[in-house]
Amino acid sequence: MNPTARTCFFLGFLACTAMLVIAAYFQFVEGLEPCPLCISQRMMVLVVGLIMLVAAVQNPAATGIRIYSLTTLFFSLFGTAIAGRHVWLQSLPPEEVPECGPGLAYIFEHFPLSRAVELLLNGTGECAEVQWTSLGLNMPGWTLIGFLLLGLLGGLQYQNTPITDQAEVKLS
């Protein structure tokens, strides 16, 4: 039995929701403050989740499924790149860690939007601090796996959907 595209998109949405709930738990219950790269990853999880929710609610035909799948894949790969950078920063020796930057509130108050986005995507020294691990992976490592799985879901949806809606026009 093959799951429908609607089911796959809905399951992807639930996975994104779970990722955001877990992030909120660590922030508000465990008191772990998110760094700029954590915020960037959350934004990408939110974007992917919203794309998948809209796709599940709309339940599009083949062309729509392929568009939603490619969009999901694109934003998942962008999230993978951000999480990969975060994993890389956390693997640096202490002497190579970049300097810490200003807080997020200060960044958005005093910098133009383009510079604020650049700081969010590049990360700072605070992003190199490992605050939590499980099974040998840090939080960005688990997020990286999540993005890869979401991207895989989008890619498989794209691959398993016919190119056209297969609407046949009968000429009499």
pLDDT tens for residues 153-163? 998 888 777 77
- Select the highest-mean-pLDDT range: 26-30, 46-50, 125-129: 46-50
pTM: 0.80
Specify the pLDDT at position 104.
Answer: 65
User: 66: number of CA atoms within 13 Å, CB side?
Assistant: 9
Alpha-carbon distance 22 to 38, whole Å?
12
Q: What mean pLDDT is predicted for residues 61-70?
A: 90
C-alpha distances (whole Å) from 125 to each of 37, 93, 122, 166 are: 11, 12, 10, 53
